[in-house]
A and B are shown apart, each in its own frame.
Chain A
Amino acid sequence: MISVTSLTKRYGAHTAVNDVSFECAPGTVTGFLGPNGAGKSTTMRMITGLTPPTAGESTVAGKPYRQLPNPGREVGVLLDASAQHPGRTGREVLTLSARTQGVDSARVDELLSLVQLAGPAAGRRVRGYSLGMRQRLGIAHAFIGDPRVLILDEPANGLDPEGIFWMRGLLRDFADRGGTVLLSSHLLREVEAVADRLVVIGGGRIVANGTKEELLAAGGVRVRALDPGTLQKALERAGLAVTAGADGALSVQAEAEQVGQVAASISAVLLELRPVDTGGLEELFLTLTAGEAKETAR
């Protein structure tokens, strides 16, 4: 369980995170989406007590993170896979964490094999690791305390397609067993495949927050008729929001069935009726964040 209430972070005149609130429930994967610089990492650092917020608060497993007696046992955190001492071996990195948390050292080997770093790779220094290997080590590190909550910042970065598929399975399984996952990404496809809920952030503000289905359905349906003018009037009479496109197609904020009923009632001939072709989350993401991203870039 993660609960974020009105978190705000200002650096001088710049507001990096502005009044961000959301919740992540056990059993769900929450995708935290936004372009680079949108405030995802700052929000996650505030949740994990590494960055003091200017205002607002957050709790993990019912407590402010900094009040958790042994946070690694409750929350697995991966904020930056590159933030490891290059002179330590992969095994040593996990061993240090296992010891800090009071976890049995057998777990180090268990995790190393889980992320396919067992064998010679475990004894190599992190300096020689590829970004993908560092991500795997980071994921092992997040899991080592057997936590019930995961907070992962861009964990898919640097993983190959097979690795991304594997990680999806890992997170899905973790959530299905009652775990809570907060996963940030600017790779929309990655999140779309695994998340139940989406929190989209742009320019430090939350621009969309809901279940994946809700947010995807927001695009409405596209309908083309032999006589678009008549259909548009009928749809408007039925109280539906209609926008006429340039090609004679109508975008309607409704379910396909509602539009079909209206069309049938006036015996309209339909040429096309389908959900708006949004390109999935990507278009939603781009439309929601485009303006904000430009603002941030300025």
Chain B
Amino acid sequence: MTATLTETRAPMAAPRTFPRPGLIRLTGIELRKMADTRAGLWLIIATALISVAIVVIQLFAADPPDQTFVNMFQTTLFPVAVLLPVLGILSVTSEWTQRTALTTFALTPQRQRIVVAKALAAVVLGILALVPSLGFAAIGNVIAGGMDSAAGSWSFGGLLLAYALLFNVVNVLFGLAFGMLFMNSAVAIVLYFVVPTVWSVLTQMISGLKTTSEWLDLSVTSTPLFENAALSGGEWAKLAASIGLWVVLPGVLGLVRLLKREVS
């Protein structure tokens, strides 16, 4: 092994200034970090495979008139909604569980910039996730149309796409917020699956909590996003309220924790 450093170029005395890495660059790196580990890569592959499976099931199980582009597209959103947030969770928690925060925050000491980059990466991920959903639905719909003339309707609207996008993005940010709050992969993933479900069951079973469920159960308030009609003011308010409880609140608490926490 040679002890000389071949990369030596300028004499060390010259003053140098280096620009701060921009948010776009940091966002790109955070996106890359979501997919460059084995866990991340397999989550993405699993999500895609389940989406394909759901389209295939519909080809065999659904009534031909229900085999439409919209239906196939919307059903692929559910595996995405379940699994993609786990990528959001891992994006934050793996920094602590795998202790890569030592490197991340040594290179970018302004931790809030990393948080913003991770949030932007989550948004981009939510948008990108629409592409395979649209693709799988289109392929499924072509096949459906070929098998039965009653199937294969292509009717689709920009509103539906926009709502699907919002649905994806909210879900990934939901995962990110939970990750920031709990800072531990196992804990955050388990709670992410258990807490909202228990909440749904409780608020729907107990009649006194009916109103609570209407306002603060994200699975209830996000349902109108799948109907081909613009959300009413009341529906927007309810959606916003539940996003506030499940995304904004844990996100803010998590941000405070993350900024203060000692990295070791």
Contacts and interface: CB of A to CB of B under 8 A. Distances in A.
B108 interface: yes
Interface stretch (A42-50, A235-243, A247-255, A284-292): A42-50
Interface string B1-20: 10111111101110011111
B102 interface: yes
Contact of B98 (A49, A73, A83): A83
Interface in B21-66: 21, 25-26, 28-29, 32-33, 36-40
B94 interface: yes
B3 A169 contact: yes
A87 B28 contact: no
A55 interface: no
B100 A85 contact: yes
Question: What class of interface size applies to chain B in its complex with A?
Answer: 35 or more
Interface in A39-77: 41, 45, 48-52, 65-66, 68-74, 77
A295 interface: no
Contacts of A178: 11-13
Interface stretch (A94-102, A197-205, A217-225, A265-273): A94-102
A173 B5 contact: yes
Contacts of A172: 3
Nearest to B95: A85
A9 to B, nearest CB: 9
Contact of B109 (A26, A49, A84, A166): A49
Contacts of B100: 83-85
A54 to B, nearest CB: 11
Contact of B106 (A71, A86, A88, A173): A71
Given A80-B99, A84-B100, A88-B37, A45 B264 contact: yes
B103 A179 contact: no
A166 B26 CA distance: 34
Nearest to B94: A85
Given A110-B6, A148-B12, A173-B4, A96 B38 contact: no
Contact of A100 (B16, B29, B110, B263): B29
Given A50-B264, A177-B12, A79 B102 contact: yes
Given A51-B262, A83-B98, A177-B8, A70 B103 contact: no
Nearest to B106: A77
Contacts of A179: 12
Contacts of A101: 18, 21, 107
Interface residues of A, number: 56
B102 A100 contact: no
Contacts, number: 127
A72 B3 contact: no
A45 B261 CA distance: 13
Interface in B158-206: none
Nearest to A84: B100
Contacts of B38: 87, 125
Given A99-B25, A99-B28, A174 B262 contact: no
Given A88-B36, A88-B37, A100 B25 contact: yes
Nearest to A169: B3
A92 B40 CA distance: 14
A107 B9 CA distance: 13
Given A50-B263, A177-B8, A73 B18 contact: yes
Nearest to A26: B12
A105 interface: no
A288 to B, nearest CB: 26
B156 interface: no
A159 B172 CA distance: 42
B35 to A, nearest CB: 11
B29 A99 contact: yes
B109 A71 contact: yes
Contacts of A100: 21, 25-26, 29, 107-108
User: Which of the listed residues A86, A162, A163 has the most CB atoms from chain B within 10 Å of its own CB?
Assistant: A86
Contact of A166 (B3, B11, B40, B108): B3
Interface in A140-193: 141, 143, 146, 148, 162-163, 166, 168-170, 172-174, 177-179
B102 A50 contact: yes
Interface in A85-119: 85-88, 92, 96-97, 99-102, 107, 110-111, 114, 116
Nearest 7 interchain pairs by C-beta: A169-B3, A178-B12, A87-B37, A83-B99, A70-B18, A50-B263, A69-B20
23 contacts: A41-B264, A49-B105, A69-B18, A69-B19, A70-B19, A71-B107, A72-B106, A73-B18, A77-B106, A84-B100, A87-B37, A87-B39, A88-B37, A96-B36, A97-B107, A99-B29, A101-B18, A101-B21, A114-B7, A116-B1, A141-B103, A148-B12, A170-B5
Given A102-B25, A179-B12, 17 more contacts: A49-B105, A51-B263, A69-B17, A70-B20, A71-B107, A79-B106, A83-B98, A87-B39, A100-B26, A100-B29, A102-B21, A114-B5, A114-B7, A146-B9, A163-B1, A178-B11, A178-B12
Interface of A: 26, 41, 45, 48-52, 65-66, 68-74, 77, 79-80, 82-88, 92, 96-97, 99-102, 107, 110-111, 114, 116, 125, 141, 143, 146, 148, 162-163, 166, 168-170, 172-174, 177-179
